[in-house]
Structure formats: C-alpha cells, structure tokens
Amino acid sequence: MDRRSFLKNSAFGGAAAATTALAAPAYAQGNRTLTMVTTWPRGLAGVWDSVERVANSITAATDGQVTVEAKAAGELVGALEVFDAVTAGQADMYHGADYYFVGQHPAWAYFTAVPFGMTAPEMMTWYYGQDGMALHHELGEVFGLKSFIAGQTGAQGGGWFRNPVASADDFKGLKFRMPGLGGEALSKLGASVQVLPGGEIYQALSTGALDATEWIGPWSDEKLGLQEVCNYYYPAGFHEPGAALSTAVNLEVFNSLTPSQQKAIELACADAHQANYAQFIANNGPALERLKSGGTQIQEFSDDIWNAFGNASVELLDSYTSDDLFKKVHDSAQASMRASGGWLSVSDSAYAQQRNRVLASM
C-alpha cells in the first residue's frame, strides 16, 4: 500500500477518530499484568538491562497495580515479529529498536538512529526538549501504538570485519549485517546487507554467512563474542551516532490504563533511557581496552569511505521526503540537530578536545 494513502486513511482522520476522542475513558479495574515481547535474547548486555529496568520501574511506580512480564526474542514471538504482535493485540507492549520496523514506515528509523543523524545528547534535546516525543506518538498512533524511547546505547561502532577495508570499493559484495536506514545506505555502496537479530550474529559470522557486522559497542560486542570471529574493529561508525531503544504499548491497552499508570510507563521509559546511556558509556571504555589487550586490531575508516557513507546517506534520506510524515519527522530532527550541534561543537566538543590534549601532555 502507498504510504501516503495509508496515512490519509489512518486514525488521524474521519468520524471514527472524532467519536473515539469524545468517548469517556473506561479504565480497567484491579491489578494488571502486561506481556512485553522484545527483540533481544534474554540477558543480552545493555539492551536486556533496559528491558528489566522498564519493567521493574513500572511495577514500582504503580505499587504493583501494573506488572510487566518480559519475553525474550523467540519465547513468544520472533525478534522481528514484535511490532506485528503488539499492533495485532497478541502482546501488550514491546521493547526493541524501532528502526527494525522501517518496512512499516521509514520514519521509525528516527526514533532509533539514522545515518549521519543525531548523537545521544542531540537526540535527548530533540525528544524531550522539542517535538521528538510528540512525533513519536503521532507515528505510533497511526499503527495503534503509544511509543516512548526507553534506552540509549550512545554512539555505535562502525563494525567488525574479517579483513580491513581500505576504500569504499571494498564494500562491494561484502556480506554485512546492518539494519535500519544505515543498512539501506550501505547497500548503495554495493554491500550485500542483511538484517539479523542480535542473537543470530555470532553464528552467521562463524559460518561465513556474514563477512562483517555492526552490533552496538565494545561492551555488548565483547559479551556477544564478536572478537572471537573477527579481528578488525572500527569504533567510529556513520549509521548510529546515538541509538535509542523504544517501548511501545498497544494503544487500546494504554488507553485502558489510568492516567497515573500511563504516566508511570512514560517516566519508566525516560528513566531507562538515561540509565541505559550511562551504563553503556561506563562499560565501553574498559571493554575497548580489554579487546585491544586480547589482540583486536583497532582501525579507522579513511576519508574516502566517510565521504561515500555521507553521500549515500544524504541521497537515501532525501529519497523518502516525498512521504509527508517522513518529511515532517526528518525536517524536525534535522533542524534540531543543526541548532544543538552548532552549540555543542563550540562548547562540549571543543572542551573535550582541549581537555584530552592538555591531560595527555601532563
């Protein structure tokens, strides 16, 4: 179905939407247990921690009136089936990375990360200080969801490779795991891009089904064992400069909760977002040193490769702006990024460079 036609016929228009808006809310009584399906294997470093924090915080904030039963990928539905499960009412909520669902609508990518997009502080500025959250809700409600960001990995690594890459031509035919719009941009360089859940990456590399992959960062990647199957690691990547995770609740379920319970979900997600960011940053540095000590070769992409990444990314994002909702989200995010990035480049970034230079000389 054409996306623009779909949006015009969505719940935003028509008499049915107006009638629903005027109806008196009917709140479910008694204690509730909500089933949360996830895109993550149980216990996966960082991302599963965010699942548990969201679930535990909702229970604590509601004094046990709402509890969340978290299901790992494959326990109820497959990792990439959680969106459909929640929109269909087979599960109450999901936790995952919204860019897995760009096949539903490409604007979902902005609520995880887009290539050459926002860093984590820029994402937080847009989401909490401007209209990012409202746009997340607007997009989610088209699909019968109430969506919140609920985790943050920070900048993700450029990837793990069996062999180093010296130029953009080295990506031609490379079997590379990368989801979201970053993967679509990489395919423009000739890569054979695959979308696999985290739990399947190690096996795919071990068997040769993949030549290279990105996952998250040194800590999570080390826990996944990627250093055992690839020798070359590129810490800086173009595709996820500040990747948010999300929780989405089936909209009918969300509307059946009391206002205080709804607020508890919103605040639990915000809490998990900031706590998860701190967790990743705290663990990535020590993990990177362990990887170096273990023999991992740390590499940097050449300027030629970075230029190719940039050209492919801009071309890709521009290709989607004919969709009204994508353009609305895209323009908002880009404007926010330009504004906050302009300040951060002359404040935080300049300070960090000078601090590191001075301390290194002492």
Mean pLDDT of 112-123: 97
Asked if residue 345 belongs to a domain, the reply is no
Asked if residue 117 belongs to a domain, the reply is yes
Asked if residue 260 belongs to a domain, the reply is yes
Task: Return the pLDDT at 205.
Answer: 96
Mean pLDDT of 126-141: 98
Mean pLDDT of the chain: 92
Task: Return the pLDDT at 63.
Answer: 97
Residues 270-328 have pLDDT tens digits of: 999 999 999 999 999 999 999 999 999 999 999 999 999 999 999 999 999 999 999 99
Task: Return the pLDDT at 20.
Answer: 37
Number of structural domains (the chain) is 1
Exposure string over 213-226, b if 16+ CB within 10 A, otherwise e: bbbbbbbbbbbbeb
Confidence check: pLDDT of 232 > 90: yes
Confidence check: pLDDT of 4 > 90: no
Confidence check: pLDDT of 152 > 80: yes
Residues 42-90 have pLDDT tens digits of: 999 999 999 999 999 999 999 999 999 999 999 999 999 999 999 999 9
Q: Which residue, chain included where needed, has tokens 């979900």? A: 265
Mean pLDDT of 176-190: 96
Asked if residue 214 belongs to a domain, the reply is no
Asked if residue 220 belongs to a domain, the reply is no
Q: Binning pLDDT at 50, 70 and 90, where does residue 1 land?
A: very low
Question: Tell me, what CATH number does 86's domain have?
Answer: 3.40.190.170
Confidence check: pLDDT of 23 > 80: no
Asked if residue 254 belongs to a domain, the reply is yes
**What percentage of residues in the chain have a pLDDT greater than 70?**
92
Q: Contact, 182 vs 240, CB < 8 A?
A: yes
**Domain interval for residue 70:** 29-152+242-282
As separate numbers, helices (DSSP H) first and strands (DSSP E) second, the chain gives 14, 11
Asked if residue 112 belongs to a domain, the reply is yes
Task: Return the pLDDT at 28.
Answer: 59
Asked if residue 294 belongs to a domain, the reply is no
Task: Return the pLDDT at 26.
Answer: 53
Mean pLDDT of 15-33: 54
Q: How many CB atoms lie within 10 A of CB 133?
A: 19
Q: Helices marked H in the chain — which ranges?
A: 3-8, 15-22, 47-61, 82-87, 120-124, 132-142, 180-187, 201-207, 218-224, 251-256, 259-293, 303-319, 324-346, 348-360
Q: Binning pLDDT at 50, 70 and 90, where does residue 6 land?
A: very low
Confidence check: pLDDT of 117 > 70: yes
Task: Return the pLDDT at 30.
Answer: 72
